[in-house]
Structure 1
Amino acid sequence: MHATDPSPPPLPSHRPLLDPAAEYGRWITERPLARISLWGDTHPWLVTRHADARTVLSDPRFSSENVRPGFPGLQPTPPPRTPGQLFAMDPPDHTRLRRMLIPEFTFRRIEQLRPAIRNITGDLLDGLVKQQQPADLVEHFTLPLPLLVICELLGVPYADRDFIHRQAAAFATVSAGPEAMRAGWAALFGYLQELLSAKSREPGDDLMSKLATERVATGEATPAEAAGLLVQLLIAGHETTASMLSLGVVALLRHPGQLAALRADEDLVPGAVEELLRYLSVVHIGLRRIATEDVEVGGVTIRAGEGVVVALQAANRDPAVFADPDTLDLTRDAGQHLAFGHGLHHCLGQSLARAELQIALPMLVNRLPGLRLTGAAAEGYAFEGRAIHGVRELPVAW
């Protein structure tokens, strides 16, 4: 019924700091499955309801291959096919490559990393309290923490952190244009190819060494595929968690009752992290798919070759699933949230992200009971044109 909308509205690229764009609150009831405008005459379907999002993300008739004609990509120009980009692959290649990484991201493996994450968090807090106030929480805590963890896990030198973050940020900045995004990916790809080659000669006890000696050396993966996997892990392994940590701090400080409850009851922490993931939904450009055959979703037929954008931030505020969804409630059961996606492309590193958030947020707010935002409103520091919502800096005092 919406397929013939004469002027589909644009996909919102703006948003307040802690909430989705206001349009989503209306669309989830008024036009939950309808056309939007991306660029040129591209008008994919926008999915906002939780149930419809789960359907699209779990149905194999929706492809993730972003080189297919009509795919609703981030840019008008289709990207070159790059080895190892799991987010842009379908089975069987997706299955083959993802299976290589699963042993390193099991719940048991991540639980073994918790002491190391606590040590890293404690060291960063020791450094933070030595800074002159106000200090930038992003620079001294929320960015280096996940970057240190993922570098240690992968076997990437943390000394190269400035280069790594600069290139990762370039790839994630949609507004910079396709060439800048590709250049960021290409720079990290070349860097990790060299590291992978070195690890094949002198392996260590890290994921990159295992890929080099157990997968590439045996012919299960090409060096390019392995490097592509590592680029994705390196970017996703710190960008999203850094944003969640920063925005999680802002959300807690703006809800002092919730913060007090978190400080008073450590048993609240796991559920509180799930609620923050639901409430903030930092991936705000939507998960993109294209139908490979006609599929009915929510009473609407999506034709083969038509694109779909799944708005996670809308699905995570669906009142049919979450009562009073615009309220931050750390005691609610938010276990059905889709912040990590759903289906075969659900986030491989979600256990790692949960562990970092469950450890870092309580340690921060308990170590610094007087923690507060300073200076200009935090909105002034929000990223513009980024695929991952967050802040560039976050001045705080304590």
Structure 2
Amino acid sequence: MHSPETPTPPSLPRHRPLLDPAAEYGRWVRERPLARISLWGDVHPWLVTRQEDARAVLSDPRFSSENVRPGFPGLQPTPPPRTPGQLFAMDAPDHTRLRRMLIPEFTFRRVEQLRPAIGKITEELLDGLTEREQPADLVEHFTLPLPLLVICELLGVPYTDRDFIHRQAAAFATVSAGPEAMRAGWGALFGYLQKLLEAKSGAPGEDLMSKLAAERVATGEATSAEAAGMLVQLLIAGHETTASMLSLGVIALLRHPDQLAALRADEGLVPNAVEELLRYLTVVHIGLRRIATEDVELGGVAVRAGEGVVVALQAANRDPAVFADPDTLDLTRDAGQHLAFGHGLHHCLGQSLARAELQIALPMLFRRLPGLRLTGPAAEELAFEGRAVHGVRELPVAW
């Protein structure tokens, strides 16, 4: 509680430029790397901006992800919906028990086996795009359907339900819409996937949902509700973030023609380029939220039990102590230390899949459409407002 004499901490920025973090983060990572911020009401958690401190928080079990704990620095004053299987809001051992059920489908080796299928989907989408009148919306016809098709096939979800899926996922991800709308989006997908799970248990296939139904739910290792909750998270995270990365990656490369030229000249640069784009763009821009379960010293500051912490990934990925000239897009830099996929227990399960999609789609897009250019309004005018994942709602292009 802040007394009238105590200055109110600065608010967590809710708006950001298209390709960069909010300007405040650049100052804070240098001047106040661990300091209080204001979220809503009288909630003033710690904001972490340095990468060293971010790694410390995300790897320390004394910082809990359970968003129903009193004082948790959530996105809204109202606690979010709590359904079984929400890995992002769980701690060990329950988190460990459920996550290990999914790991075999997302290993590097398994994802490498999926590359031909991802390449085929990419080619087919580009075939369809090039047959359209120009300008065409790259989001509608390429950057959104690509990861959505891939995750639907992997999970065993009918792609014919794509409009419903994306609409509900977008509702859950739109923080500015309020907790009821977010709850409704999650709940709709949860109910939808529970019904699909029931159907798969009677007629299983080779997809992940079938394996969960036959090998985990049927054996009692997980409840159907836990399985449905995990699938909701995979379905949302499996397309929202990659779709935004593809769209913003295209914009970033077109606005940095020297970097695009380097990529075109040497496709061996692609894996490194993707890591740099992930660092530079950091599309998950609302911060990773934790709460201390006991007193912890962090960066020379005492964080007390019950105090919230917000880890600003976009600041940590522009930390000048780790990345020289961090606000410059440099596809040749070693960006391997970025935290775009998080760190520790909750690091992104699908990071190998996201990397594969980006590594395949971006060079193929620019190879097939060498004259690709943005048309229509400035991309800044098309950015999402109030979304947990930064991106653009449409992207008119010609080629």
| TM-score interval, normalised by the smaller of the two chains | over 0.9
Is contact 1:5-1:35 (8 Å) kept?
no
| Residue equivalent to 1:344 | 345
Equivalent residue, structure 2, for 1:302: 303
Report the secondary structure of 1:337's partner residue.
Answer: coil
Within 5 Å, give how 1:235-254 maps onto structure 2.
Answer: 235-254=236-255
1:320 maps to 321
| Equivalent residue, structure 2, for 1:396 | 397
Q: Map 1:73-222 onto structure 2 (within 5 A).
A: 73-222=74-223
**Which residue number in structure 2 is paired with residue 366 of structure 1?**
367
**1:260 is aligned to 2:264:** no
Partners of 2:79 and 2:154 lie apart in 1 by 32
Q: Following superposition of structure 1 onto structure 2, how do residues 277-288 of structure 1 map, counting pairs within 5 Å?
A: 277-288=278-289
Q: 1: CA distance between counterparts of 2:13 and 2:132? A: 38
Q: How well do the aligned residues superpose, as a CA RMSD in angstroms?
A: 1.1
TM (norm. structure 2) is: 0.99
For residues 296-347 of structure 1, give each alpha carbon's deviation from its aligned partner in whole angstroms, at most 9, with x where no partner exists.
1111110000000000000000000000000000000000000000001000
Partner of 2:34: 33
Tell me the CA shift for residue 5 of structure 1.
Answer: 5.5
Shift of 1:283: 0.4
Question: Residue 50 of structure 1 corresponds to which residue in structure 2?
Answer: 51
Cα distance in 1, alignment partners of residues 107 and 54 from structure 2:
25
What is the alpha-carbon distance in structure 1 between the residues aligned to residue 366 and residue 88 of structure 2?
A: 34
Task: State the Cα deviation string for residues 65-94 of structure 1 (Å, max 9, x = none).
Answer: 000000000110112421000000000100
Partner amino acid for 1:389? H
SS in structure 2 of the partner of residue 59 of structure 1: coil
Q: What secondary structure sits across from 2:310 in the alignment?
A: strand
Contact 1:45 1:307 in 2 (8 A): yes
* Alpha-carbon distance in 2 for matches of 1:233, 1:13: 25
Letter in 2 for 1:103: P
Partner amino acid, structure 2, of 1:44: P
Counterpart of 1:60? 61
2:325 partner amino acid: D
CA distance in 2, matches of 1:60, 1:325: 30
> Structure 2 counterpart of 1:53, which letter?
A
Residues 253 and 372 of structure 1 are in contact (CA less than 8 Å); yes or no, is this contact kept in structure 2?
Answer: yes
**Take 2:70 and 2:14, find their aligned partners in 1: how far apart are those partners?**
23
Moved more, 78-87 or 161-170: 78-87
Residue equivalent to 1:383? 384
Provide the residue aligned with 1:293 in structure 2: 294
CA distance in structure 1 between the aligned counterparts of 2:7 and 2:301, rounded to whole angstroms: 18
Query: By how many angstroms is 1:135 displaced?
Result: 0.5
Which consecutive unaligned segments of at least 5 residues does structure 1 have? none
Deviations 1:260-304 (CA, angstroms, capped at 9, x unpaired):
110110110000000000000000000000000000111111000
Q: Distance in 2 between matches of 1:132 and 1:301?
A: 60
Task: Tell me the amino acid that sits aligned with residue 76 of structure 2.
Answer: Q
Distance in 2 between residues matched to 1:161 and 1:22, nearest whole Å? 36
Q: Structure 1 stretches (4+) deviating beyond 6 angstroms?
A: none
How far apart are the structure 1 equivalents of 2:280 and 2:184?
Answer: 33
Separation of aligned partners in 2, 1:364 and 1:346: 28
Give the Cα separation in 1 of the matches to 2:6 and 2:359: 44
Task: Tell me how far 1:29 sits from its aligned partner.
Answer: 1.1
Q: Distance in 1 between matches of 2:238 and 2:105?
A: 13
Contact 1:110–1:352 at 8 Å: present in 2 too?
Answer: yes
Sequence identity, in percent?
Answer: 88
SS at match of 1:70: coil
- Is the Cα–Cα contact under 8 Å of residues 278 and 338 in structure 1 kept in the other structure? yes
Provide the rounded CA distance (Å) in 1 between the counterparts of 2:81 and 2:353: 30
Amino acid at match of 1:117: I
Does 2:332 match 1:331? Answer: yes
- How far apart in 1 are the matches of 2:43 and 2:276? 34
Instruction: Return the alpha-carbon distance in structure 2 between the equivalents of residues 93 and 201 of structure 1.
Output: 27
CA distance in 1, matches of 2:173, 2:6: 31
Deviation at 1:6, TM superposition (A): 1.7
1:275 alignment partner AA? E
Distance in 2 of aligned mates of 1:321 and 1:266 = 26
What does residue 7 of structure 2 align with? 6
SS at match of 2:289: strand
Instruction: Check whether the contact 1:272–1:330 (CA below 8 A) recurs between aligned residues.
Output: yes
TM-score (norm 1): 0.99
Counterpart residue type for residue 100 of structure 2: R
Counterpart AA for 2:47? L
Corresponding residue SS for 1:296: strand
